[in-house]
Chain A
Amino acid sequence: MSAPRIVITGLGAVTGFGFEWQTMWAQMLLGEHCIRPWQPEGVADGTFPVRYAAPVDTRQLPDYLQGHPAWQTPLEKRSQLGWVAASQAISDSGLSPAQLRDAAVLCASGAPAHKIQDMLLTVADEPNASPAWRYLMAKADQVSAAHSLCQSNDRLARVIADDIGCEGPVINISSACAGASQAIGNAFQMIRRGEVDVAIAGGADSVLSLDTMTALYLLGAASSEQRWGTGLCRPFDRHRSGLVAGEGAGFVVLETLERALARGAVPYAEVLGFGSSLDGYKVTAPDPQGRGAALAMQTALHDAGIRPQQVDLINAHGTSTPLNDAAETLAIKSVFAQGEHYRRLAISANKSQFGHLIAAAGAPEFIITALACQQDRITPTLNLHSAADDCDLDYCAHQTVNRRVDVALSNSFGFGGLNTCLVLGKYQEHAQ
């Protein structure tokens, strides 16, 4: 029996652009971005070296949560954003709770972002080292139950599953910046193996806190450059200087084509394959030759039964870090070397528009890739004014490109040397 075809029938995204995927898509096609001046909460303006980020304007968040179970539940910010995105994807899919009962929920959350004041309350207030348990317990009671210190990493996955009454597998992935892509890839594999018919998959993250942003800065990942202002995120540009963090979430509903058509759903796009790999090179840097990234793309293409020459678009990981963008370019050149197909590829880097959503990054980028397949529109890579010598491909700089997209890849590479690639195809009645 041949494997079932698997399609995307629901989208949900929360980014700095807003709380709906439609807003994000429309703004991105216009060549807009949502990167703003930013400083961590509790730090005097101008004292923190990282000056720009793509935060979500949470003033609207209550409008999206009120009246729903998540509003009553103590949830940290990333889980709230994730819940909104997942709810949106489910609503977008048109699936009823009864149709979702056996769904799988696969979710990626990043490392928790501790609020400094809460940590101070719980640990640091004891004048003598080694504070007593009773003291800690008393202090712990003062920490909000919604705070990450009080919540397990898999909380969001469980909340989504409980909210829809899901009795299927609930899985929490923790693979850094490749997390959401891995969650979507695993969901695809589970449906293809026949373990479930439908899955809700994606990720959520919010790293815009003092401790996590300090971490990203110390790792040399976050840019502290100031001369470019909000144009700081410059994937593949010679003046790129590091990632610009964002926050948000993305979720998709995947199901078998047979099931989707039976209920009258119109797929956005088809998922064709998935691959993952490890660099085995360094914890702190990608393999400069891009071997791991290339292996992930090759594995995904093999899994999809797609030849490299069939690929039209790559939604690049494109972090705007000197190491990643050069290594990813090399990886693309090696995978698409035959006939120099890499010269015909369109490559787009969404992080120039909504920043790097870390564990969640792969999900909205997957959504953008699916929409590119559906609408034959490729969102631009912003701020690419002077391509680096080692970044010499067509990155769709500045403005949206209207070009037919039958097959596209969505790349996500994680800190620690973990790479993923998803292959998407334009939905057509007959398989590609």
Chain B
Amino acid sequence: MSGVPTSIAIAGSGCVLASGWGVDAFWSAACESRSGIKPLRSLLFHSERVTAFGQIHYDDHQRSRQDLAQNLQRYCTPAVIWGVSAVRQALAEAQLTPGADALTYGLYCCQGGYTHPSLASYGELLHECRQGEGADMQHLARRILHERAQDPFLVLKGLSNILLGVVSLALKLECECNAYMQGVSGNLAALREACAALQSGRIDVAIIVGAGSELDALALSALVQAGTISADGSDTLRAFDAQGTGGIAGEGAAALVLRRREDLGDGPQVCLQTMTADVAIEHLNLPDQQADVLVCSGTGTPDQDRQLSLTLARTGAAHITSGVPLTGLLSAAPSLADLILARCALLAQRVPPIAGLSQPVAAQLPFVMGAPCSTRLDDGLVLNRDDNGFSACYQLKYSEQANNA
């Protein structure tokens, strides 16, 4: 277990998720069990089997665009725009303005692995260049090279570090940085580097942002083949429910601003206490202390959720909730969204229910159902599973005064 000797506070958070723009919208949706998962709409393909998606609402996308200069938007996929918006929200809550203060920043980005404009645009172009059974490569090369295809900024949108590049430009950051492309594991790696940098004194403020979208035919195909999402036309993600029919993919962005607790004034704060990781979630080294609230994504597949419940039972958590039925499965910001939900719960002293849960896969576990539960909450846990990296556990603590941190 990697301890956090200097208490690290979550000083700000932001998100653009299917549940809405901003943390307040996410929290309201959680408390009201209002899912953002809707019928899948794409101009690029249609599907009778994968019919639902945690899609960012058009109005929320437009609102996010206001956070980024027009000249930078041309380089961006929608997910990058949401990422910038999430960072600005988090900085606003933390009352920070990079460049206008004497603080040293660090930027740690997690980007989703799919950049749908590249595939789609190339695809359309390739179709035009198709003759008989093969593509006319010379025609294709001529089109791409001389006419610059359909989108002159296509190449930049496909960069695997474009989120990092655009956030740094939008905020004029010249600080230390890192970029990851690895789902849950990327989130943990980013958080770990950020906390280490804060503890070493190298930086005063860490910005962590994850953004991505799976709204891509091949990405969804890969998720179906991996058994991550269902292809039976279901429109609800029922986490930890015996009636679950599988996962539903989503898109969006989430951001956290971290600071050393000692650098903040008095007032309620939620601090990161420890982070642990293991290749397999069942081997995770869990904190000895019983948590008051546990946030865990859940898969929507009953067998997998039953298996996951064995680990949840080890935590001895008093209340268990999940945000994934609201947003769908996020590719690049899953832990960040869960940490935001856990922080909201600790600050509000209230645990939101798991949307749609009616028949828990493990009856003995304290899943919160129906209505939010108001109670004393001091400690929180976030558990994330990742099958292609490592699973992670984050421990959070709520404190009202700096000296209690």
A and B held together in a complex: yes
Chain A contact residues, CB within 8 Å of chain B: 42-44, 47-49, 110-111, 114, 116-117, 119-120, 122-127, 129-134, 136-137, 140, 149-150, 152-155, 157-158, 161, 167, 169-176, 182, 186, 189, 193, 195, 210-211, 214-219, 275-284, 291-292, 295, 299, 359, 414-418
B113 to A171, Cβ gap below 8 A?
Answer: no
A130 to B43, Cβ gap below 8 A?
Answer: yes
Residue from B120, B125, B155, B162 having most chain A Cβ neighbours under 10 A? B155
Cα(A383)–Cα(B159), bound, Å: 30
Interface SS majority for chain A: mixed
B48 to A174, Cβ gap below 8 A?
Answer: no
- Whether B32 is near chain A, meaning CB under 8 Å from some CB there, is no
Residues 332-382 (chain B) with a chain A CB within 8 angstroms = none
Cα(A415)–Cα(B193), bound, Å: 22
Cα(A416)–Cα(B107), bound, Å: 14
Select A219's contact among B140, B155, B162, B183, beta carbons within 8 Å. B155
Cα(A359)–Cα(B186), bound, Å: 17
On chain A, the residues within 8 Å of B178 by CB distance are 173, 175, 182, 186, 276
Cα(A319)–Cα(B138), bound, Å: 29
Residue from B127, B171, B224 having most chain A Cβ neighbours under 10 A? B127
A292 to B137, Cβ gap below 8 A?
Answer: no
A130 to B162, Cβ gap below 8 A?
Answer: no
B173 to A120, Cβ gap below 8 A?
Answer: no
Cα(A278)–Cα(B222), bound, Å: 34
On chain A, the residues within 8 Å of B144 by CB distance are 214, 218
**CB of A193 to closest CB in B, whole Å:** 6
A176 to B221, Cβ gap below 8 A?
Answer: no
B185 to A278, Cβ gap below 8 A?
Answer: no
**Given known contacts A153-B113, A280-B168, A283-B75, is B218 in contact with A111 (CB within 8 Å)?**
no
Contacts A120-B130, A176-B160, A283-B156 aside, 6 further interface pairs with beta carbons under 8 A come to A125-B130, A132-B46, A218-B144, A219-B156, A283-B169, A416-B165
B218 to A140, Cβ gap below 8 A?
Answer: yes
Cα(A219)–Cα(B141), bound, Å: 15
A154 to B185, Cβ gap below 8 A?
Answer: yes
On chain A, the residues within 8 Å of B159 by CB distance are 111, 176, 415-416
Select B173's contact among A114, A122, A215, A280, beta carbons within 8 Å. A280
A124 to B123, Cβ gap below 8 A?
Answer: yes
- Whether B174 is near chain A, meaning CB under 8 Å from some CB there, is yes
**CB of B220 to closest CB in A, whole Å:** 8
On chain A, the residues within 8 Å of B125 by CB distance are 124
A175 to B47, Cβ gap below 8 A?
Answer: no
Kindly supply a per-residue 1/0 record for chain B positions 304-341, scoring 1 wherever the CB is within 8 Å of any chain A CB and 0 otherwise.
Answer: 00000000000000000000000000000000000000
Cα(A62)–Cα(B122), bound, Å: 32
- Whether B396 is near chain A, meaning CB under 8 Å from some CB there, is no
Cα(A129)–Cα(B45), bound, Å: 7
On chain A, the residues within 8 Å of B174 by CB distance are 277-280, 291-292, 295
On chain A, the residues within 8 Å of B45 by CB distance are 130-133, 136
On chain A, the residues within 8 Å of B137 by CB distance are 42-44, 47, 116, 210
Select A186's contact among B113, B169, B193, beta carbons within 8 Å. B193
**CB of A278 to closest CB in B, whole Å:** 4
The 29 listed contacts between A and B (C-beta, < 8 Å) are A111-B115, A111-B158, A116-B126, A117-B135, A119-B119, A120-B123, A120-B135, A124-B130, A125-B127, A129-B43, A150-B222, A152-B222, A154-B388, A154-B389, A170-B279, A172-B182, A174-B179, A176-B160, A189-B193, A276-B178, A277-B176, A278-B173, A279-B174, A359-B160, A416-B159, A416-B162, A416-B164, A416-B165, A418-B164
On chain B, the residues within 8 Å of A214 by CB distance are 141, 144-145, 155
B220 nearest in chain A by CB position: A133
The 10 nearest A-B residue pairs measured at CB: A416-B165, A133-B47, A123-B123, A174-B181, A124-B126, A124-B127, A215-B155, A174-B160, A278-B168, A172-B182
B124 to A122, Cβ gap below 8 A?
Answer: no
On chain A, the residues within 8 Å of B179 by CB distance are 173-175, 182, 418
**CB of A344 to closest CB in B, whole Å:** 28
Cα(A131)–Cα(B45), bound, Å: 5
A123 to B217, Cβ gap below 8 A?
Answer: yes
Cα(A340)–Cα(B119), bound, Å: 50
**Given known contacts A123-B119, A283-B75, is B164 in contact with A175 (CB within 8 Å)?**
yes
Cα(A39)–Cα(B45), bound, Å: 33
A281 nearest in chain B by CB position: B169
**CB of B281 to closest CB in A, whole Å:** 13
Cα(A418)–Cα(B222), bound, Å: 31
**CB of A207 to closest CB in B, whole Å:** 12
Cα(A206)–Cα(B277), bound, Å: 31
Cα(A295)–Cα(B222), bound, Å: 41
Cα(A292)–Cα(B165), bound, Å: 13
A127 nearest in chain B by CB position: B127
On chain A, the residues within 8 Å of B119 by CB distance are 114, 119, 123
Cα(A145)–Cα(B176), bound, Å: 37
- Whether B301 is near chain A, meaning CB under 8 Å from some CB there, is no
Cα(A115)–Cα(B164), bound, Å: 26
B158 to A215, Cβ gap below 8 A?
Answer: yes
**Given known contacts A132-B48, A136-B221, A276-B177, is B182 in contact with A171 (CB within 8 Å)?**
yes
**CB of B105 to closest CB in A, whole Å:** 9
On chain A, the residues within 8 Å of B180 by CB distance are 171-174
Cα(A281)–Cα(B166), bound, Å: 10
B189 to A123, Cβ gap below 8 A?
Answer: no
Cα(A131)–Cα(B130), bound, Å: 16
Select A278's contact among B107, B130, B152, B158, beta carbons within 8 Å. B107
Residue from B160, B176, B390 having most chain A Cβ neighbours under 10 A? B160
**CB of A64 to closest CB in B, whole Å:** 25
Select B217's contact among A125, A136, A291, beta carbons within 8 Å. A136
Residues 95-147 (chain B) with a chain A CB within 8 angstroms = 107, 111, 113, 115, 119-120, 122-127, 130, 135, 137-138, 140-141, 144-145
- Whether B402 is near chain A, meaning CB under 8 Å from some CB there, is no
Cα(A40)–Cα(B307), bound, Å: 48
B123 to A417, Cβ gap below 8 A?
Answer: no
Kindly supply a per-residue 1/0 record for chain B positions 35-60, scoring 1 wherever the CB is within 8 Å of any chain A CB and 0 otherwise.
Answer: 00000001111111110000000000
Residue from B173, B177, B221, B388 having most chain A Cβ neighbours under 10 A? B177
On chain A, the residues within 8 Å of B43 by CB distance are 129-130
**CB of A141 to closest CB in B, whole Å:** 9
